Each structure stands twice: as structure tokens, then as C-alpha cells.
Chains A and B, each alone.
Chain A
Amino acid sequence: MSVTKTGTVTIEVDGRPLDAEEGATVLQTLRRHGIDLPTLCHYEGLTPASACRACVVEIEGARTLVPACSRPVQNGMKIRTNSERVRRARKMVFELLASAVDTSTYPELQAYMREYGADPARFGDDVARVSEPVREDNLLYVRDYDKCILCYRCVEVCGENAQFTFALSVAGRGFQARVDTGAGTPLPDSRCVFCGNCVAVCPSGALMPSIEYHMREAGTWDEGRQQVTTTTCPYCGVGCPLELHVQDNRIVKVTSPRDHPVTYGNLCVKGRFGFAYVEGAATAPVAPAATGRD
């Protein structure tokens, strides 16, 4: 029962006056009024990283374009959400990202690119691309940093936003920046507790459950054939709701609803990955490097 007194202010969006709640961000306010902006790094409930710059808008009086995800509204603020300057900046964001990372498992970004006419090939053939080996050091989830857009969602959810494990941070600068477990430590030797909450918030497929990863590799992953059933976790007494993604009578993935007051979408390792004992469960192929007891 946190009691924050909020007032209402008025802002002007693309020439139209709109009411806004004090303390809300520009993005929250626009979405409440049914005006959508493209977002990549933004995730409702996580601290805004303002990393991707896809949601930039023009604010009268501001020198530079402003990320709507983190800027709070102010009374009298005049915002242009779709000006030529804004569209050109967003297009460039998508082009730069797609020139550097693999967008093949990121349909939202692909859709934005079509919408904005983004052409990453225009930077030429010898463009800088992230090229990292796929990290498969365990049988629960796979890391493919060629697909990482550095949105910081995984870092946030592993840290103060939910898990307080702090297994992940961003190391390196500029183009060399990577999400890292600390000097490239394999996950089983890191602080990671394999809750997979980072996997759940990853937008681009850079973090992916092993089962999904291998089904995609084999060409058998088909969301059109998947049914999602919400049930309750069979383990401890917390009562976490689980969304079971089932394809051909096999559980292929487990998530939790983001808007549920028990989990806010987060789970522990047992809830997210501990379903192998169900007869109707898909399994990941066992990579030789990832087996064995300690």
C-alpha cells in the first residue's frame, strides 16, 4: 500500500493536448493513450536502460532526441513522436543494430526494419559484426551473443530488479561490450543459479532455453503449433503460475505470466527447467561437454 500522491499534468503530443500522470514516463503516457512507439530494450517493470534509442522522440526545447522510456512527463511538455528527424534516427538505430547482430530470432526488430525501410547493407560488406562462439556450457540455456543487442534486460533482472544474484554485467567498451559472467567464466562456474529469468526477458533470442535452441536448429520449433496452458508449479509452496508451451503433446518451454502478483514473470530453476521428469517433456540433446557430476 505505497501511497504516492499523483497529480495530473497536461502535455502536447503531435499538436494534441493529452493528460498525463505526474511521475509517469513519456512512453507510459503515450501507450496509455494508445500511441505506440518502437521499443527494443524497454521492458515494463525493469529499470529503463535507455540503451537502444528506438523510442526517441523530439521534445521542444531539448537539444537532442530524448528516450521516451525513461523521461518523466512535465507539465506543458511538447512532444513530436513521428517527425522526420525522429524517424531518421530510429531507422539508423535499426540499421546499425542489424549490421552488427544476427536478427534472425528477433521478429519484432525485423518488423520495425520493414516499417522504417531500414537497410543495414548500406554500410558495405566489411561492416563490423559481432562474431562470438555460441556458448553452450550447460543443458538448460544457450548464449549466442551474435544476437545480443545489449539491452541490459538480463543484467537488470539478474540484479536489483528481481533476482539479486548479480551473475551478469556488461564488460568491455564500445563495439567490444558484451554481457559477461566475469572474465568469461562458464555459467556452471559462475554465480548463476539458472533461474532463467534473464532468458525470459531476452528480446532477441541471444539467451534461449536449450530445448528451443536445438528445436530451432533442427527446424522443428513451430509456435503456430504450440498451445499455452497456465497451471501451477509442482514444487514448493509459493504457488508460481506456470505457462506450459506444448507442441505435439510435449512441454517445450515454461514461462510465467508477467502480470501475475506472485511471480511478476520470474521463476526459480525448478519451475522453469525442472520438468524433464514429465513423460510429455521435450529434452535437449546432451552435449558431451555439458554432462557429468562434480
Chain B
Amino acid sequence: MYGAGGATTSYEEMEHTSLLFLWGANPREAHPIIFHHMLRGIKNGARLVVVDPRFTSTAQFAHIYLRVRVGTDIALANAIGQVILEEGLAHQAFIENATEGLSAYQEKVARYTPEFAEAVTGVPASQIRTVARLYAQAPRAIIAWTLGITEHHNATDTVYALANLANLTGHIGRYGAGLAPLRGQNNVQGGGDMGALPNRLPGGFEVENPEARARFEAAWGVKIPPKVGRHQSLMFDGMEKGEIRVAYVIGENPVMSEANHARVERLFAGLDFLVVQDVFLTETAALADVVLPSALSWVECDGTVTSSERRVQLVRKAVDPPGEARDDIMIIQALARRLGHDWHYTSAEDVWNEVRTLSPLHPGMSYQRLAAAGGLQWPCPDEDHPGTKFLHDRLWKWPVEGKRAPFVPVDWEPPRETPDDDFPFLLTTGRRLEFYNTGTQSRAYHWPRGQMTYVQIHPADAERLGIQDGDLVQVSSRRGSLRAPARLDPTLAPGLLFMAFHHPDLVPTNLLTVDAWDPKSGTAEFKAAAVALKRVAPRGSWTEDMLGKEVSRHGA
């Protein structure tokens, strides 16, 4: 909406804002050190509003907690917008100067009264009004979100719904006011910035823009395909249809990390040729024809990563890689040479210096400066530039500089799967503090409370089903069934189950999740699957070999 793919604010600003509005984010566990900045902000007087279906450890710090039903965020956001407009709290001067399309938005949100939204979201209408006033009247406010927003079939629309609120109130483009998607992995931001997206070239250029392609074609001496490529969900569809017969997977474990595990495993197993380049012999690598052992990027190689505040930071070699493992850059270069391209990069810094000549976001970021400054935030156009704390101050120039920020009216739709008689619970998935993703990194260290994934269930549901803490239960969705220990969790709402996905070796959570995906981003709806639950064995009577094993699979 604003023309840049990254958080508009910095961590520092979270310490000096007046309202932190966390939506579908649990930074206390998933981004602990960003949450330190938020805690400093709260200590300095900021209010904290948390929107989450679970009363998370983050929500426990909130001044106002909104227990939203899974996947109803757009209805809530539209209702907040409706109240702001209805009560005359919108920032008229900002809207007139810097945005466009208000009337269509106003028309769209008119029916999202707080009472209507209460019926959809479960959040009381009075709370919706309170939060709308708080957000609109805050001198500075930051909305931050993570996968609670983006792992839905209408993820992009939900982000638009949040950004519309920033447009309405002018909480964008000023110090301490903005929008902050908190990135889940240490280089999600950098990967996108470098063009590892189907529609982008390095530096944020659109693939379908001929001038942008010409810039890179001139530098690289090759033709760049003029069409947007496939994101992962479309690749899976392509494999399904036999259009994709070969895959080259670098540093990912999709067989375990993607929704509907049984289907993904079948697709990868059915390829003609699979190459996996990884540090571990993952479940995906186990299916490969060729495994290229790579070195760990953050400790066995040099390079850069980019954080959730657009800060480019160095990673440095500190220990030697084992055996024949090689730096990813050198593996890719060796492969390029076999394919007839005469590449001659001698180091990661060499590649980086090429990035600096092609991406307008990065020219000022020499390795030397990155090391001395502890990282620099893009854009950083030249070597005298200090980097950029927050984006889009252009929206506050009178008249506005560049493109106006459009309102994007969106409607709420329920998740693709909702509970019914056969599958009466809604399962949502997410992270825990002490583990990470499919566990390949976090499995080895000695977490003092044990390595395990649970099915977390509200005590009232547990009582109804005769389930006690520590019982072995079977969870079934339309895709498959598995067994896991139950843990009673009063932070959930009745009817809602929660599972982490960090121990697929014990409990392959993504056997259950649904592979419905957002047509705009390609991300699957990990956050909402309808499931059934039954007790298998009481606490103390089952052994570890009884769990973790899937019972059946239908999703293949």
C-alpha cells in the first residue's frame, strides 16, 4: 500500500510510542528481544492492546486484551475503522493530503458496526469502541503483527484491513507511529529484499517492470523471464499436475514445515529429481536424489541478514564447517559454472558489493560500515547516510510527495474450515519460546523442561471429554490423525486447541493443518483446521513410542 516491503518503524520507536497494538502476534515467546523494547515502551507509559484468540504470555502484559475468534480479524479491523469514522476521530487532514479511496472504504465498513463485529469476532462491542478511540486518539501508535495475521487464506486482505486503520489515523510515517510485521526467521526480510520472491528482483523491483529487468539484464548479461514466477503453493499445484518434475530446495524442510504434511510428502516423493541443499539430513533431504551439504550460514560462513526493522547485519564465520560442507554461495556458484555461466565471486562480500550497485536500498552499506555500526537500516543510499529509522515521512509533506497511500476495502470471510459435527474443534498452531520451526536447530540443546509438543486444550473441554493433563489423545482432521499428550491450558477459549510444530519427529502437527492458501501471498492457513479429539490412554499408562506416530493419513 505504501510501496515498500518492510516494517515502517524501528525497535527503538517501540520504546517511545504511546500505543502498542499487537495483532496475531506473541512476541513474548516468538520475538523475545523485540518484546524487551515493547516492555520498555510500556514502562515509559505506552498502552498495550493485544488481539489474539489465546491469552498468551504477551497478552498477560496487556492493558486491553481482545479475545478474537480465529480468522475474524478483518471484521474486527473494519469495525474499528467504522467507529473511528462514525465518531469523527479520523485524521481528516492526513487523509485528504496523503491517501486516496476513503469513500469506497467508508462504504465497505459501514455495515461493520461494533454489534455486527461482536457477533462475528466474539469481542464485545463496547471493547471495540474503546480500542477504536484509544488508537485514533493516541499521539503515536504502532500496529505490529505476525503469523496470526498472515497464515490465513485471506492473509493479504487482513494486512490491508490493518493498514487501512493507519491510513485513517495518520499512524504511519512519523517517529513512533507505523506498521510492523515481525519477521519469523532471521532473514525473511533479507530474502525478500534480495528478490527471493516470485514477483521481485533485488531491491524491491517488480519482475514485470521492463525497465527494472533491463537494469539487471545489463549487469548480468542474461535475459530475465518477464513473468511473475510461482510461489510455493503454486509450485505444489504444479507438482500435483505434473508441470513441475524437478525441485531444488535450499535450507528448508517443506515436508515437515508445510500444511497438510501427507500431501507435501507425496508431492516431493513423486518428483523425477529432487536436490536438497541443507545442513541437516531433514525429512525433505531424506527424499532427495542428491543432497548438497552446506555450511551453517551464521557461524561457518560470512554474509548478511536483514531483520524486522530493515537492519542489515553481518553474519561471520567463527568455526570451520564439518567435512565437505560448503558455503551456499560457493555451491550455487559451482552449479552455475556447470550450467555454463562464468561466475567469479570470491566471497560473500563480493556478492554483497554487487547488490550495492544494483539495489537502491543498499549502496551505503559496506561491510566495514555494517561491522562498525552493528548493522544499518535500509534505505541507505550512500556511504555518508546513517540509515533510515522509519519509512514514509513523505506522507507528511504538504502536499504529499510521490504516490498517495490507497485505502484497500476488504470484506471478512470465515476460515476455509470451521468446526462441524464430525470435527468439532478448531486447531490453531504456533510457536513456543524455547523451540523453533521444525526443530532441526532447537532439538539438540538441553531445554530443561523436555522436548515435546502437546495438544493444548481448555479445561472445560477436557472435563467434558474426560481428558486429564498428561493423557494421550488422538487428534484427527480431514487430512490425518496423530497422537500427542494433552495439556490443560486455561489461556485458550473453549472449542479451541493449540499445537506447536517444533517436534515433527514426535508429533507431526502439520499432518493435521489445511493447505488452503491465500491467492495473493501463497501462504497456507496454518492457523485454522477443524479437528476431532478423543482420549486414547490415561497419564502414566502410555509410552513414548505410542505417540508421535501418525495413525492414519487421508490428505495425500
Contacts and interface: CB of A to CB of B under 8 A. Distances in A.
B442 interface: yes
A174 interface: no
Contact of A278 (B299, B442, B451): B299
Contacts of B449: 188, 294
Interface string B1-34: 0000000000110001000000000000011111
Given A237-B185, A261-B11, A274-B436, A160 B447 contact: no
B299 A280 contact: yes
B33 A232 contact: no
Interface stretch (B314-322, B336-344, B352-360, B527-535): B314-322
A270 B450 contact: no
Given A270-B434, A274-B441, A278-B296, A261 B315 contact: no
Contacts of A54: none
Contacts of B12: 261
A268 B33 contact: yes
Interface string A132-163: 00000111100000000000000000001011
B183 interface: yes
- How big is the A interface, by class? 35 or more
A168 interface: no
Interface in B265-286: none
B448 interface: yes
A235 B186 CA distance: 6
Contacts of A160: 43
A291 B446 CA distance: 8
Contacts of B36: 162-163, 263-264, 266
B445 A234 contact: no
Interface in A220-254: 227, 229-242, 244, 246, 249-251
Contact of A234 (B30, B299, B544): B299
B433 interface: yes
Contact of A236 (B185, B321, B445, B451): B185
Q: Is the interface of B mostly helix, strand, loop or mixed?
A: loop
Contacts of B318: 227, 229, 231, 244, 246, 251, 280
Contact of A232 (B30, B32, B313): B313
Given A231-B298, A246-B318, A269-B433, A240 B184 contact: no
Contacts of B451: 293
B442 A270 contact: yes
Contacts of A229: 316-318
A179 interface: no
A1 B39 CA distance: 16
A111 interface: no
Nearest to B16: A1
B311 interface: yes
B33 A139 contact: no
Interface string A247-283: 0011100000100111110111111011111111000
- How big is the B interface, by class? 35 or more
Contacts of A270: 433-436, 441-442
A236 B30 contact: yes
A290 interface: yes
Given A140-B446, A229-B318, A276-B444, A237 B452 contact: no
Nearest to A233: B186
Interface stretch (B148-156, B302-310, B398-406): B302-310
A96 B296 CA distance: 49
Nearest to A249: B319
A233 B188 contact: no
A195 interface: yes
Interface in B443-474: 443-452
A273 B441 CA distance: 11
Q: Which 9 A-B residue pairs are closest in the complex by CB-CB distance?
A: A239-B307, A237-B183, A280-B319, A139-B446, A293-B450, A138-B448, A268-B32, A229-B318, A277-B444
25 contacts: A1-B16, A162-B39, A194-B434, A194-B448, A229-B316, A231-B299, A231-B316, A232-B305, A234-B298, A235-B441, A238-B32, A238-B33, A238-B308, A239-B313, A241-B313, A246-B319, A262-B374, A269-B434, A271-B33, A273-B445, A276-B446, A277-B440, A277-B441, A277-B442, A293-B544
Given A188-B449, A231-B298, A280-B300, 16 more contacts: A139-B446, A194-B447, A231-B318, A232-B186, A235-B442, A236-B184, A238-B186, A239-B307, A242-B298, A249-B320, A251-B299, A251-B318, A262-B309, A277-B441, A278-B296, A284-B446
